[in-house]
Amino acid sequence: MKFPSHINLPREAREELVELLNTCLATAIDLHWQVKQAHWNIRGRDFISRHELFDTVADHVRKHADDFAERAGNLGGYAQGTIRLAAKNSELEEYDLSAVNGDDHVRVLVDRVANYASVVRAGIQRCDEADDPVTTDLLTRILGEVEQDLWFLESHLYGSDATARDESSPPIIHEERTPGPSA
Ligand SMILES: [Fe+2]
């Protein structure tokens, strides 16, 4: 362990927690810049709303990176948060640089944010095994925000193509508009 810590957890448990926090940190740093890539390069329909949504998601993920790094420090660990370390240790694939229109960018981000959510969820299970309710609570709060952002993103794709709906989704019904009561 890099630094002393008086937190009352066995050293092995703290080492395990720092390792998983560094994986989350690397993945969050990678995701933050992937979402920025989408924010800068999106064009087309709903430009402003998507451009702004992507920035909101990026801000959330940047804050998560800070939380992961500082919890690693609380536990006596060394945060591995340079760009090069993040690129090496991230669980995500590189951004799809062929994405141009809005739906392309949203599809890439849905995939990357869902993978990030899976990394955090797996971390929660490992925190439970290490018997650390504080890190469990941190990751659980972060996962709630990630899944909320995933909903905002994937809702943009609803009905746009087959990949946006699973088998159990209700069919899209285009009802004919009936004139309402006249004003
Ligand atoms: Fe911006």
Q: What is the pLDDT of residues 132-173, one digit of tens each?
A: 999 999 999 999 999 999 999 999 998 876 454 454 554 444
Cβ–Cβ under 8 Å, residues 123 and 24: yes
Q: Calculate how far, in angstroms, residue 117's C-alpha sits from the geometric centre of ligand 1.
A: 24
Give the predicted TM-score (pTM) of the model: 0.86
Token pair for 7: 């937190």
The CATH number of 11-162, from 3.40.190.10, 3.10.20.740, 1.20.1260.10, 3.40.630.10, is: 1.20.1260.10
Q: Calculate how far, in angstroms, residue 43's C-alpha sits from the geometric centre of ligand 1.
A: 14
Q: Calculate how far, in angstroms, residue 129's C-alpha sits from the geometric centre of ligand 1.
A: 40
DSSP string, 160-172: TSGGGS-TTSPPP
- pLDDT value at 177 more than 50: no
Cα–Cα distance list, 110 to 65, 88, 115, 132, 148 (Å) = 19, 22, 9, 30, 12
Handedness of CA 92, 94, 98, 101 (dihedral sign): positive
What are the sequence ranges of the domains in the chain?
11-162
